[in-house]
Structure 1
Amino acid sequence: MAEIIEQSKLALNPTDESEATGQSAKRVKLDFCSAQGDGSGSAFVSVLSDFETKTVLRDSAREKNIFIHGKIVDQDAIVILEKTPIRQDNLPEMFQDSRLKLEMKNDIYSTYQLQPPAHLNEIKTTVICPATEKHVKKYLRQETFLVEETGDDYRSITLPYISSQSFSVQWVYNILEKKAEADRIIFEDPDPNTGFVLLPDFKWDQKQLDDLYLIAIVHRRDIKSLRDLRSEHLPLLRNIRKKGEETIQKQYSVRPCKLRVYLHYQPSYYHLHVHFTSLDYEAPGCGVERAHLLSDVIQNLEADSEYYHGRSLSFPLRADDSLLLRFREAGRL
């Protein structure tokens, strides 16, 4: 369970973009740091006090985030800093208690530097430690290429690659077995064939609905991705859509028509999961080159049980991705 701290979050098991890639890719442990209570139930964690910056992997002024590679106690680590959204219910306090410094005034126009109270100026912080080389490459800004994978390509190139890499999804099993993050699960259907757990993604701080982001993780362990889906899995997919939307409407008062519900291909980890995001949120990976709407997936399987067995699927790969090299070696790029 990630500790929610006053001005940061320590992500122990991010459910998508920070997947485990081997037994050694474990998230930072609290024995790296000392926690001190403030009497309010919060804990101040000093895990970043020993962080040594090596390089900035990428940053974005538009998205207000930065990805940094460094070391914590001689172990490679990645720190992700993201400015949290401004919440409407905080505006009265922000306007009343902030300090303004005038920068420029010209007729009716003026600009200021606003210094809000500290608790309204949070930075969401994700720490991955020890970070593997794959994690470092994952967050490094790189050129990307669009690959068109046929069904035969999947069986001759992608599937052998997946099998050879032995991607670890133990952290997913920990969630399903309630060994980790059990208190974050907002809904569970325990049926072994059609059941799933629904919990907030770590990219969502749960403080506003504009960037709502939840993940449904299926209990079945025999479905790696979209490619494995057949018509026999329609009850599972329909159940995820129906109960996921019902739970989100009941819990957050967000109607199904305000949700984007989709699967990734390629996925970030090879255990079937479905993304539920606010339609107002431009979530990472929600573009047409990677996201497949769950409603479309259901309709395609209703029309053809083998649709994803033979269908050509396109997806982006980064320049240093080993799978991209496999496609190049096979003369497919």
Structure 2
Amino acid sequence: MAAAQNSGDAETHQAAKRLKTDETEAGNNGEKFISNFEVGRVLRDSTREKTIFVHGKIDDQEAIVILEKTPITEDVLPEMLKTSTQTLEMRNDIYSTYKLRPPPHLSGVKTTVICPATEKHVKKYLRQETFLIEETEQDYQSITLPYINSQSFSVQWVYNILEKKAEADRIVFEDPDPQDGFVLLPDFKWDQKQVDDLYLIAIVHRRDLKSLRDLTADQLPLLRNIREKGLEAIMKRYSVPASKLRVMLHYQPSYYHLHVHFISLDYDAPGCGVERAHLLADVIQNLQHQSVYYRKHTLTFPARADDTLLGKFREAGRL
């Protein structure tokens, strides 16, 4: 995801309303809200990830609905096999396939609603061609940084978390130190029902660090603290060891306030590709060897066709 979607991500974080299909949580209001959705067009779908992104309207307001099949977990497997109805589709020698219809409480679909949705949200989820940008130190200073500063991307929702004005009940761990401290909480992509797709975010308390580009050896205590205490907190809460976690930073980030991703190795999460992901252990090692490594080094990142930053690089003759 490229820089042009950053403000959209912030708005998404604030506006997204998770509607559980679990009958104990959905309630009549949630069911009515979904039932009022008028399908417009499919922005993107993935049979591999079992997700679909749909643009439409809810009560005459622009809306995006994201539907994702929930994983089958070990604790519900026995009940699912015993209580589901089945229809034979094909049999050939020792092989047979069936269509299984689980009972309603075991066939939930995780649903995210963004309403009212802006054009930025639509562009964010729309399938588009992607390009790879190689950003030099000079490119960052003359193209990327002025673009970031001119856009004034809002991260107020991040400050709300840090100040306990929002999502305080979701915080898994906090180190309150103003220089090296952070809060650790689940990412909205994780429903917290199983650790196979575990996904948490560590958000630093400092407000002067926008991205990987701002890091120098001076921030090594902060980065080591996040890695050590973040891994310790996840092991304590979820019994997932460091050897089962991918701990990384994105460049470009989806919002400009330094944060670190803790993701299960079993989860092929968006943004884990080499063109965008930087392992925290590698970041620490690079800064140990060269204090200004990430200020001097050429960094690559993907940009979608509608990304304004991509246009800036084209205007500068860099693509």
Give the TM-score taking structure 2 as reference length. Answer: 0.93
Where does residue 112 of structure 1 map in the other structure? Answer: 98
CA distance in 1, matches of 2:82, 2:11: 47
Confirm whether residue 216 of structure 1 aligns to residue 206 of structure 2.
no
Match of 2:287, SS? Answer: helix
Superposition deviation, residue 49 in structure 1: 2.2
1:232, 1:175 → 2: CA distance?
25
Give 2:3's aligned residue: none
Report the counterpart of residue 177 of structure 2 in structure 1. 191
Deviations 1:195-248 (A, max 9, x none): 101011111111111111000001111100000011111111000000000000
The worse-fitting range, judged by mean Cα deviation, of 195-204 and 72-81 is 72-81
Percent of aligned pairs with the same amino acid? 72
Q: Does the residue aligned with 1:152 lie in a helix, a strand or coil?
A: helix
1:1-20 pair list within 5 angstroms: 19-20=9-10
Q: Partner letter of residue 78 of structure 1?
A: I
Alignment of 1:74-113 (within 5 A): 74-113=60-99
Equivalent position SS for 1:127: strand
> Which runs of structure 2 are paired with 1:139-154 in the superposition (5 Å)?
139-154=125-140
Give the 3 Å change call, closer, same or farther, for CA 28–235 of structure 1 in structure 2.
closer
The equivalent of 1:27 in structure 2 is 15
Consecutive aligned runs of 4 or more in structure 1 exceeding 6 Å deviation: none
Return the letter of the residue paired with 2:305: A
User: Counterpart of 1:234 in 2: which secondary structure?
Assistant: helix
Cα distance in 2 between the residues matched to 1:145 and 1:94: 43
Question: What is the CA RMSD across the aligned residues, in angstroms?
Answer: 2.1
**CA contact under 8 A between 2:182 and 2:202: conserved in structure 1?**
yes
Deviation, structure 1 residue 79 = 0.8
Number of equivalences? 311
CA contact (8 A) 1:204 1:212 kept: yes
Structure 2 gap ranges (5+): 1-5
Measure how far apart 1:88 and its partner are: 1.2
Once residues 107 and 21 of structure 1 are traced to their aligned partners in structure 2, the CA distance between those partners, rounded to angstroms, is: 54
Structure 1 partner of 2:150? 164
d(CA) in 1 for partners of 2:7 and 2:245?
A: 20
**2 CA distance for matches of 1:28 and 1:207?**
19
Whether the aligned pair in 1 keeps the contact of 2:7 and 2:154 (CA below 8 Å) is no
Residue 332 of structure 1 deviates from its aligned partner by 0.3
Letter in 1 for 2:15: R
Structure with more of its chain in helix, by fraction: 2
User: Does the CA-based 8 Å contact 1:144-1:317 persist in structure 2?
Assistant: yes
TM superposition score normalised by structure 1: 0.89
3-state SS in 2 of match to 1:211:
coil
| Displacement of 1:83 | 0.3
Specify the code of the residue in structure 1 equivalent to 2:314. R
Matches of 1:299 and 1:17 in 2, distance apart? 31
Instruction: State the shift of 1:28 in Å.
Output: 5.5
- Please, which of 308, 311, 314 is the counterpart of residue 325 of structure 1? 311
Q: Is the 8 A contact 1:26 1:129 kept in 2?
A: no
Aligned equivalents of 1:19 and 1:164: distance in 2? 17
Superposed displacement of residue 29, structure 1: 7.0
| Residue matched to 1:270 | 256
- Post-superposition offset of 1:305: 1.1
Matched, 1:256 2:242: yes
Cα distance in 2 for partners of 1:145, 1:324 equals 8
> Can you give the 5+ residue segments of structure 1 that lack an aligned partner in the other structure?
1-15
Q: CA deviation at 1:177?
A: 1.0
CA distance in 2, matches of 1:42, 1:185: 23
Q: Give the Å deviation of 1:74.
A: 2.2
- 1:18 and 1:65, CA in 2 relative to 1: closer, same or farther beyond 3 A? farther
Q: For residues 40-79 of structure 1, give each alpha carbon's deviation from its aligned partner in whole angstroms, at most 9, with x where no partner exists.
A: 5764413222212211101011111000111122222111
Contact 2:202–2:226 (CA<8 Å) still a contact in 1?
yes
Tell me how far apart the structure 2 counterparts of residues 150 and 230 of structure 1 sit (CA, whole Å).
Answer: 17
Indicate the larger mover: 51-60 or 142-151.
51-60
Question: Could you tell me which of 278, 281, 297 is aligned with 1:292?
Answer: 278
Say if 1:220 and 1:247 are closer, same or farther in 2 by CA, change over 3 A: same
Matches of 1:41 and 1:75, distance apart in 2:
24
Structure 2 Cα separation of the partners of residues 318 and 224 of structure 1: 21
Q: Choose between structure 1 and 2 for higher RCO, CA contacts under 8 A separated by at least 6 residues.
A: 2
Please give the secondary structure, in 1, of the residue aligned with 2:303.
Answer: strand
